[in-house]
Amino acid sequence: MRLSKEQIHIIQEDARSIFGEGVKVRLFGSRLDNTQRGGDIDLLVECYEPIRDRLKKTLALTARLQMELGDQPIDVLVIDPTTELKQIHKIALKTGVAL
């Protein structure tokens, strides 16, 4: 996994502050491969209760992470019990690693 302990801590704390304490965050995609370089940070945020203002909160998390982790590509997917899972969600759930 190509994230530092500090980066993981920032991601976890920011996700909790925006989506609530019961949130689970997974890293998926190229940042899981230690042999690669670069690549965006792909995150799946799992919420166990329906989320109000999902888009607003997703954008807020993305913006906050870009400010705190540096201006780099960050993709955030958010799911809750009402989400109709698309293929990308299924891949993230299957291959993602919990932070």
Domain CATH number, residue 72: 3.30.460.10
Helix (H, G, I), strand (E, B) or coil at 52: coil
Query: Percentage of the chain with pLDDT > 90?
Result: 80
pLDDT tens track for 1-49: 788 899 999 999 999 999 999 999 999 988 887 767 767 899 999 999 9
**Mean predicted lDDT score pLDDT of the chain:** 92
- Can you give the pLDDT at residue 93? 96
Task: Output the CA–CA distances (angstroms, integers) from residue 27 to 52, 53, 93, in the order listed.
Answer: 23, 23, 9
| Containing structural domain, residue 14 | 5-98
d(CA 51, CA 68): 24
- Can you give the pLDDT at residue 38? 66
